[in-house]
Every structure is written in C-alpha cells, then in structure tokens.
Amino acid sequence: MLKIGDILTLEPLDGEGEQYKSKVEEIGDGYIHIDYPVHMKTGKTVFLLNGMQFKAIFVGEDNGVYLFETEVIGKVRQPIPMVVLSYPEADKLVRIQRRQYVRVEANTDIAIHPLQQEFTPFTTMTTDISAGGAAIVLPPQQQKQLFPGMVVETWLVLAMRSGEYHYLKLKAKIVRIFPAENSDIYKASLQFFDVSPQERVLLIRYSFERQLELRKKEEKYRE
C-alpha cells in the first residue's frame, strides 16, 4: 500500500493541529524509514524523540487517503539520517473516502440552532458522524418543527483521545427525517457545508479515532 517516495503527513496524537511532512525512504517488516520531517507552517526541520506517537496520512496508489497510528522507534544514519517509525499491517490502515466520508457510530453532544427563529434551539446526541455530516436523535417536540432542506446551525463537541476538546460551529442542511429501526425514536440526517479545511481535519481525526476504538472493541469481543 505505502511505497518508497510517498509523502507522509504526521499529526501528533497529543498535539493541537500541528502537522509535519516527510518522505518515505525505506519500508521493512513492521517499520518504515522517513526523512527528518518538516513543520508545515514554519518550514523548519522537526526532531522527533523515541516514543512520540502520531497519526500518519498518505495517498495510496488508488488515490484514496489512508491513515494509521505510528510511533517513533529509533533513528538511523545510513545512507542518510532518518527516523524509524512503526508501520502496521495493511488491515490496520483506515481508508478515508474522497467522495463520501465514512460514517462511524458516535454519541457526542450537539446543539441545533435555527438561522431565523423557525424553532426553539435544542441539544441532543449524534448517533453517527463523518467529516461530511451526522445523524442526530430528534426530540419529540422538534419532529414537526424541522423538515428536509432546512438549514440549521450546529454546535458540536469533539472529545479526542488525547483529552483535548474541540468545539465546532457548523452550518448544516437537514437531508431527511426518518424513524430509527425498531424504535419510536426519530432521527435527522445532517449534511455539513462551508466547512473550513481545519474543521474538516478535526472531523476526520475524530472519525478515525472512533473507527480505531470500534475496531479494538470488535477484536476484544472476538477473543
């Protein structure tokens, strides 16, 4: 999947939006060698310490965007100074669709506000989320006040695994309102728009972390 010469973007797991860029120089069994990365904002070389953990992002041969978690496990100096990163098996890579972002199960707090006082603002929970939208639980009193095509303002809380919280204020269009399967509860499907690149990265990061959590739970259940 990953090949020599690919550009790798690194995001610290405990950082706040920092991004570094490097190039893959060698690929081995469970590890890769990369050039010393460069900070994408300052253009300065970044020196990484053993044990530092990152999300790594690259574009595959199929033009899909792939993510995986990695850790600095060493340094080498031959033939040039390079950083050694852990590299997981192919089934540990998470593919982010370009045309349609992957939705994952996620229960996070969200507040829905009207743009022109069409309804009373309310708070609820998401049932799934992606970088392109979310599904929310619709309280009974709002089931007749909202309708497909309506544009709303959402206030979303993203709790990252590192302990940091991000609060996003996003406009969204209500795509459809539908009953949950085998339940009296109704849901609303939202499509985000006017999302900045920084906000999109946060949504992708959150979705990626949720995918990893769900995958680990499935593996633990199988054991």
Query: Does one domain contain both 115 and 150?
Result: yes
CATH of the domain at 160: 2.40.10.220
* Last residue of one domain, picked from the residues 94, 111, 132: 94
Beta carbons of 81 and 36 less than 8 angstroms apart: yes
Beta carbons of 36 and 22 less than 8 angstroms apart: yes
Q: What is the pLDDT of residue 167?
A: 93
Domain count, the chain: 2
Query: Does one domain contain both 178 and 202?
Result: yes
Query: Does one domain contain both 147 and 48?
Result: no
Beta carbons of 16 and 164 less than 8 angstroms apart: yes
Q: Which domain holds residue 85?
A: 4-94
Q: Is 210 exposed, middle or buried (0-12, 13-18, 19+ CB in 10 A)?
A: buried
Query: Does one domain contain both 9 and 42?
Result: yes
Query: Does one domain contain both 15 and 74?
Result: yes
Q: What is the pLDDT of residue 18?
A: 76
Query: Does one domain contain both 89 and 116?
Result: no
Beta carbons of 173 and 193 less than 8 angstroms apart: yes
pLDDT digits (tens, 9 = 90+) for 95-132: 765 545 678 889 999 999 999 888 999 999 999 998 88
CATH of the domain at 48: 2.30.110.10
Beta carbons of 51 and 34 less than 8 angstroms apart: no
* Last residue of one domain, picked from the residues 44, 70, 94: 94
Q: What's the rounded Cα separation, in Å, for the pair 127 and 134?
A: 8
Kindly report which listed range (58-62, 85-89, 170-174) carries the lowest average pLDDT score: 58-62
